A = this chain, B = another copy of it.
């Protein structure tokens, strides 16, 4: 960390300032004309959507940030690196998406760019979950820049070329983010951690901190899926469908967690994650008329698949495919994202929407996964370069590698003592 990390962070911020100086402007009377509404109405719409933007903002910074604090000694890094890469990601996402959609013209910042910038950031945070504890802050900065560029490209492909429908971004954010992160984790496979790591576990309070993340994600997910939906009917549908899917998902997550665990007990990993799978899986068809009970069926299935994934698939993926998925993003974002894409094909087949076709949806799903894997491969190889201060196996999942603990003294501090103890053992 000595000098590379600060230099890269400063360099990236300087680059952002230059890019914003060149390409980004406030909304102007001209830029508003494209919406065919008066400036006053446009500004009112800004304020109408602002609460939904803030809901999404809470999801990105508090939701994702605290969801990942479940590790007993990696809370600072989880919530801290989350903040760092989200702050970078939203600046870069505005540029990357804006340039593509404005065809090289100036980008005019409005509420939709701000929401979309948060979305591009979400993609990176999902991938972060797959490699959590195993890569350095510098590596995360590099991954943020590459992944958002690839994400913006795939999103353009899906939305503008295939004209596919993906309002809650099950495919373009969740499946994409998961498979991108899993591919990077595959490239960075650590044989030394096959048997697990002492620090890769939670303690009582770290699991409670993680529930802060879970709950804010759960509560605001209807805002995520509806924030950029067409005002009126479609936005209404996106809110109601997501709300119902999530509620149903909770019941099946709890049921299956109890079914698969020893003695019918519940597992915090499932409660923290699988309860959210309903929000992911209903994303693509959130603004379609899939009926209230349709949303609930999608949510129920997502909860079941997610719990089963955590219990049976994650260990297999780790041993057979050599992918160590720290947060289990495959079960929360990968599988439910694929379910979301498939659900949209079924929904269109049943006449719930005519904004896209079954074929286009299938292309969109395939493109999202394919681009993610290719992007993840390239990123993984770049991150392998012995330049980025990747932590040793021993230093994984350990805040003390990246964080000063100046205010900690010996008494009353088990964490510090334990760390010293480990260092003496070496």
Interface set of A (CB-CB < 8 Å, partner B): 1-3, 5-7, 9-10, 12-13, 16-18, 20-21, 24-27, 39-40, 43-44, 46-48, 50-52, 54-55, 57-58, 61-62, 65-66, 69, 72, 75-76, 79-80, 83-84, 87-88, 90-91, 109, 114, 137, 198, 200-205, 207-209, 211-212, 215-216, 218-220, 223, 231-233, 235-237, 239-240, 243-244, 246-248, 250-252, 254-256, 258-259, 261-269, 271, 275, 289, 291-293, 296-297, 300, 402-404, 406-409, 411-415, 418
Distance A362 CA – B220 CA, assembled complex (angstroms): 39
Distance A269 CA – B418 CA, assembled complex (angstroms): 22
Contact check, B9 vs A54: say whether CB atoms are below 8 A apart.
Answer: no
Distance A215 CA – B85 CA, assembled complex (angstroms): 14
Q: Which listed residue (B18, B88, B412) contacts A251, Cβ 8 A?
A: B88
Contact check, B205 vs A57: say whether CB atoms are below 8 A apart.
Answer: no
Distance A216 CA – B63 CA, assembled complex (angstroms): 11
Contact check, B46 vs A236: say whether CB atoms are below 8 A apart.
Answer: yes
Contact check, A207 vs B54: say whether CB atoms are below 8 A apart.
Answer: no
List B contacts of A91 (CB < 8 A). Answer: 244, 247-248, 296
Q: List the 9 shortest-distance A-B pairs measured between CB atoms, nearest first.
A: A1-B264, A87-B250, A201-B407, A9-B255, A13-B251, A6-B255, A2-B264, A21-B293, A51-B51
List B contacts of A231 (CB < 8 A). Answer: 43, 47
Distance A91 CA – B297 CA, assembled complex (angstroms): 13
List B contacts of A40 (CB < 8 A). Answer: 232
List B contacts of A258 (CB < 8 A). Answer: 1, 5-6, 9
Contact check, B251 vs A83: say whether CB atoms are below 8 A apart.
Answer: no
Contact check, A203 vs B61: say whether CB atoms are below 8 A apart.
Answer: no
Q: How many whole Å from A115's CB to the nearest CB in chain B?
A: 12
Contact check, A246 vs B87: say whether CB atoms are below 8 A apart.
Answer: yes
State whether A87 and B50 are in contact (beta carbons under 8 Å apart), knowing that A72-B412, A266-B80, A266-B403 are contacts in the complex.
Answer: no
Q: Which listed residue (B212, B243, B255) contacts A10, Cβ 8 A?
A: B255
List B contacts of A216 (CB < 8 A). Answer: 58, 62
Distance A258 CA – B137 CA, assembled complex (angstroms): 11
Q: Which of A21, A88, A258, A413 has the most CB of B within 10 A?
A: A258
List B contacts of A39 (CB < 8 A). Answer: 232
Contact check, A16 vs B248: say whether CB atoms are below 8 A apart.
Answer: yes
